């Protein structure tokens, strides 16, 4: 076997074997399964880096492990495509996974499901790797669902808690709604092109009618909405924070939720040939970016704030891919993976220190008690707010600049507004949690976390600083752009540049938006120029809207879930039991009714039997007579 192929397949197989090992023999490894699991993933990471180097100095390739489903003219294999896009994603996925694995060893220490946890985590890494390297839509769909399942099982990891298992179930089902759209898209694609292989599909796309392409693209996008938690299917992500925090960092910030962006980037040909679908992507992305940030303004649960922030940042990425700036989208994906992962991990560290406390109102003044955590958190927050020289600045700015230059001014304005709100809510969190008066529960003894947890934080924080420089503005000339753009050069250029505003002016606007957000938070929560309570009462309807998350859950509950359950009960109790079974039993009981009548004839009197018999004989004779 070619060594490239070997490396390619070793990358997913290492975590897969890890899953089997810890899953089946977890109890024999005791506390060491975490170390081994991290080692396996780290090995995958190293191999990914090697593959990255190979690909950047040569060209991509595809490789088939074995034929999976061959039925009539439907042929799909377990096969991988290795090109620049997939190696970038591979390095990101395995890298973040490695860090999170190491962090988890400290975080999950002493949990009775230790091995189980690492087993599932490895399974997730396997699925995610396969998702990014798969070479056909079916395989993509398979691991698309598989990561959803891992998310289900990891969110509901502490299954005794009803809220946790509820959240897992909700995540799975909402994801499934998206997946159904995705699946139908695949069906339509197969019905039109007759194949599911990427290359073959992409060759066909320019030849099929735009309308069909649009429908396919929109259906695929439904899957992305579900997986990447965009409006209106975002409801599962905040609830998913019931899971262990490293899981939130890995799955619900860095990797799985970005699958939607990866998918659109991967299928950029389909999307670029359908401007309408791209518009929809842009719209949904913009709305999500804005409204999620809006909701995050007033939340008090730190993980939920970060979760809404994730939705918002994913919205930015969708904006990018919606305007055809795929490279910028992927760049933001990478930098977001790092700084959002960092934010979650630090939030986990805070939680760990405070024995699981998540409510902002019960924190405060933590800076003095846990310096490393606080500083790394602030680094992450600065990156999120888009303050140079942190990575978020470069990546977010690349997106917003493209939005402006391609003429989507409205989206640009919303984007800048959201950037302001982003900076505000994340620094509100910082000021409330790390500074100011301590509102801690007296029983809780806050302390810095162990080395096992802080070292990953430091690594992530330094990455958050470094990675940004891969995309030094102007983005179109940066290293990252030059590396990745090769893969997108076949895209149909549906939105050419219409403006050419200088990059530094646009950057200035973004930075100002971020800084003003931070300043506003500073004024409100540190200097207390205006009391937040006053604002709350002054803008009561808006506050309520934000605090109650736009009432989306309630609307779904009222409009969909409750009527459906009424329908279900109706179908069962009325239609099934009464109508159908009633009809059947009706036939049966009508027989019973007649037999009660008829059995009177059977009165035991021999004479009447004989009489009946002779009437019958007479009748028979009569029949012969008239015949």
Partner 1 sequence: MEILFYVFSFIAIFSALMVVTMRNPLTSALYLILCFFAIAGFYIILNMQFLAVMQILVYAGAIMVLVVLVIMLLNLSDIKSFKSNLHQVFIGILISVIMFAEIFFYISKGIQKKPVGIFTHALIKKIGNTQIIGEFLFTKYIFPFEIASILLFVAIIGAYLFAKKKF
Partner 2 sequence: MGFFIKYLLSILIFFPLASAVLLLFINKKNEGILRYLSTFLSLVEFIFSIYLFVYFKPDTYKFQFVEKFHWIPSFGASYYLGIDGVSLFLILLTTLLTFISLISSYRYIREHVKEFVILMLLLETFMVGTFVSLDVLLFYLFWEFMLVPMYFIIGMWGTGKKVYAAVKFFLYTLSGSLMMLFGFIYIYILHYEQTGNFTFNIVKLYNTHIPIGLQIILFIALFLGFAVKIPLFPFHTWLPDAHTEAPTAGSVILAGVLLKFGIYGFFRFAIPLLPSATYVLAPAIIILGVIGIIYGAFVSVVQKDLKRLIAFSSVSHMGFIVLGLFAMSAISVDGSVLQLLNHGISTGALFLFAGMLYERTHTRQIADFGGIAKKAPILTTLFLISVLASIGLPGLNGFVGEFLILIGSFHNYTVLTIIATIGIIFAAIYMLRMFQKVMFQDITNPEMENFEDMNLREIVTVLPLILLMFFIGFYPMPFLSRIDPTVLHFISMVSHHDTIYNIIKLKTGLSNV
Partner 3 sequence: MNDYLIVASAIFCIGALGVLTRKNLIIIFMSLELMFNAANLGFVAVSDYLHLINGDIFVIFVMVVAAAEAAVALGIAIAFFREKGTIDIDKANELKY
Residue 626: CB minimum distance to partner 3, A: 18
* Residue 492 to residue 266: CA distance in whole angstroms: 14
Local structure of 6: helix, strand or coil: helix
401 close to 481: Cβ distance less than 8 angstroms = no
Distance, C-alpha 234 to centroid of its chain: 9
Task: Give yes or no for a cis peptide into 535 (omega within 30° of 0).
Answer: no
Helix (H, G, I), strand (E, B) or coil at 68: strand
Question: Do the beta carbons of residue 351 and residue 373 sit within 8 Å?
Answer: no
Q: Are 250 and 100 in contact (CB under 8 A)?
A: yes
Name which position in 438, 439, 482, 614 contacts partner 3 (CB under 8 A): 614
Closest CA to 119 of 19, 16, 38, 42: 19
**CA-to-CA distance for 521 and 342, rounded, in angstroms?**
21
Least distance from partner 2 to the Cβ atom of residue 453, Å: 27
Q: How far apart are CA 291 and CA 546, in angstroms?
A: 9
Q: Which residues bind partner 2 (CB under 8 A)?
A: 23, 66-74, 138, 141-143, 145-146, 149, 152, 156, 159-162, 165-166, 169, 172-173, 176-177, 180, 183-184, 186-188, 190-191, 564-565, 567-569, 571-572, 575-576, 580-581, 584, 588
- Residue list 606-625, contact with partner 1 (CB under 8 A): 607, 611, 614-615, 617-618, 621-622, 624-625
Which is closer to partner 1, CB of 560 or CB of 618? 618
**Residue whose CB is less far from partner 1, 173 or 610:** 610
Q: Which is nearer to partner 1, 579 or 615 (CB)?
A: 615
Using DSSP, state whether 437 is helix, strand or coil: coil
Q: Which does 207 bind (CB under 5 to 8 A by kind): partner 3, partner 1, partner 2, none?
A: none
Question: What part of residues 592-611 is at the interface with partner 3 (CB under 8 A)?
Answer: 599, 602-607, 610-611
Cis preceding-peptide flag for 522 (omega within 30 of 0): no
142 binds, among partner 3, partner 2, partner 1, none (CB under 5 to 8 A by kind): partner 2
Please list every residue from 548 through 607 that binds partner 1, using CB under 8 A. Answer: 607
588, interface contact from partner 3, partner 2, partner 1, none, CB < 5-8 Å by kind: partner 2
Residue 603 interacts, among partner 1, partner 2, partner 3, none and using kind-specific CB cut-offs from 5 to 8 Å, with: partner 3
Of residues 317 through 376, those in contact with partner 1 by CB under 8 A are none
In sequence order, what DSSP letters do the residues of 394-415 get, joined into one string?
Answer: HHHHHHHHHHHHTT-HHHHHHH
Nearer to partner 3, 437 or 599 (CB): 599
Cβ nearer to partner 3, comparing 479 with 610:
610
CB of 592 to partner 3, least distance (A): 13
- Gap between the terminal Cα atoms of the chain: 90
Closer CB to partner 3, 599 or 627, in the complex: 599
| Cis amide leading into 474 (omega within 30) | yes
Nearer to partner 2, 523 or 584 (CB): 584
Closest contact distance (angstroms) between CB of 622 and partner 3 is: 14
Sign of CA dihedral 203, 204, 206, 210: negative
Contact 387, 335 (CB under 8 A): no
Kindly list the residues in this chain that would bind partner 1 in the complex (CB under 8 A): 607, 611, 614-615, 617-618, 621-622, 624-625
Kindly list the residues in this chain that would bind partner 3 in the complex (CB under 8 A): 599, 602-607, 610-611, 614
């Amino acid at each position: 076997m070619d060594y490239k192929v070997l490396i390619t397949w070793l990358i997913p197989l290492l975590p897969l074997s890890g899953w089997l090992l810890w899953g089946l023999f977890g109890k024999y490894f005791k506390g060491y399964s975490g170390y081994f699991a991290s080692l396996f993933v780290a090995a995958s990471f190293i191999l990914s880096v090697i593959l990255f180097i190979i690909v950047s100095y040569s060209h991509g390739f595809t490789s088939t492990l074995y034929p999976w489903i061959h039925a009539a003219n439907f042929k799909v294999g377990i096969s991988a495509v290795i090109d620049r896009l997939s190696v970038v994603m591979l390095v990101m996925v395995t890298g973040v996974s490695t860090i999170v694995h190491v962090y988890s060893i400290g975080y999950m220490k002493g949990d009775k499901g230790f091995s189980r946890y690492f087993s599932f985590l490895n399974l997730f890494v396997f699925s995610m790797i396969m998702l990014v390297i798969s070479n056909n839509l079916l395989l993509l769909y398979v691991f698309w669902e598989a990561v959803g399942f891992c998310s289900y099982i990891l969110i509901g990891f502490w299954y005794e808690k009803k809220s946790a298992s509820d959240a897992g179930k909700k995540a799975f089902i909402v994801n499934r709604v998206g997946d159904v759209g995705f699946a139908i898209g695949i069906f339509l694609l197969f019905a039109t092109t007759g194949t599911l292989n990427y290359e073959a599909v992409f060759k066909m796309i320019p030849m099929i009618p735009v309308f069909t392409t649009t429908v396919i693209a929109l259906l695929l996008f439904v899957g992305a909405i579900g997986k990447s938690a965009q409006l209106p299917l975002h409801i599962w992500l905040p609830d998913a924070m019931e899971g262990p925090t490293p899981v939130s960092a890995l799955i619900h910030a860095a990797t799985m939720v970005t699958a939607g962006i990866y998918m659109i980037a991967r299928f950029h040909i389909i999307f670029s040939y359908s401007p309408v679908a791209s518009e929809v992507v842009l719209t949904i992305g913009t709305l999500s970016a804005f409204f999620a940030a809006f909701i995050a303004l007033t939340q008090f649960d730190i993980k939920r704030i970060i979760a809404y922030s994730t939705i918002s940042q994913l919205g930015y990425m969708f904006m990018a891919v919606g305007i055809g700036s795929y490279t910028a989208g992927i760049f933001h994906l990478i930098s977001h993976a790092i700084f959002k992962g960092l934010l979650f991990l630090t939030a986990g560290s805070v939680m760990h220190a405070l024995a699981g406390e998540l409510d902002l109102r019960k924190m405060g003044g933590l800076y003095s008690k846990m310096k490393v955590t606080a500083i790394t958190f602030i680094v992450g927050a600065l990156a999120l707010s888009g303050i140079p020289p942190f990575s978020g600045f470069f990546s977010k700015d690349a997106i917003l600049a493209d939005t402006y230059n391609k003429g989507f001014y409205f989206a640009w304005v919303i984007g800048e507004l959201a950037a302001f709100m982003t900076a505000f809510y994340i620094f509100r969190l910082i000021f409330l949690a790390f500074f100011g008066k301590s509102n801690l529960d007296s029983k809780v003894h806050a302390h810095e976390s162990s080395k096992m947890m802080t070292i990953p934080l430091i690594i992530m924080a330094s990455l958050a600083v470094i990675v940004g420089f891969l995309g030094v503005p102007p983005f179109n000339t940066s290293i990252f752009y030059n590396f990745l753009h090769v893969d997108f050069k076949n895209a149909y250029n549906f939105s050419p540049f219409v403006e050419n505003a200088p990059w530094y002016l646009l950057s200035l606007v973004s930075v100002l938006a971020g800084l003003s957000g931070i300043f506003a938070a500073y004024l409100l929560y540190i200097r207390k120029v205006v009391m937040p309570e006053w604002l709350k009462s002054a803008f009561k309807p808006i506050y309520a809207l934000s605090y109650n998350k736009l009432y989306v859950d309630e609307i779904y509950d009222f409009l969909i879930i409750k009527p459906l359950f009424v329908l279900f009960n109706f179908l069962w109790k009325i239609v099934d039991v009464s109508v159908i079974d009633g009809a059947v039993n009706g036939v049966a009981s009508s027989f019973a009714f007649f037999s009660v009548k008829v059995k009177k004839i059977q009165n035991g009197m021999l004479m009447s039997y004989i009489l009946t018999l002779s009437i019958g004989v007479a009748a028979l004779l009569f029949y012969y007579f008239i015949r």
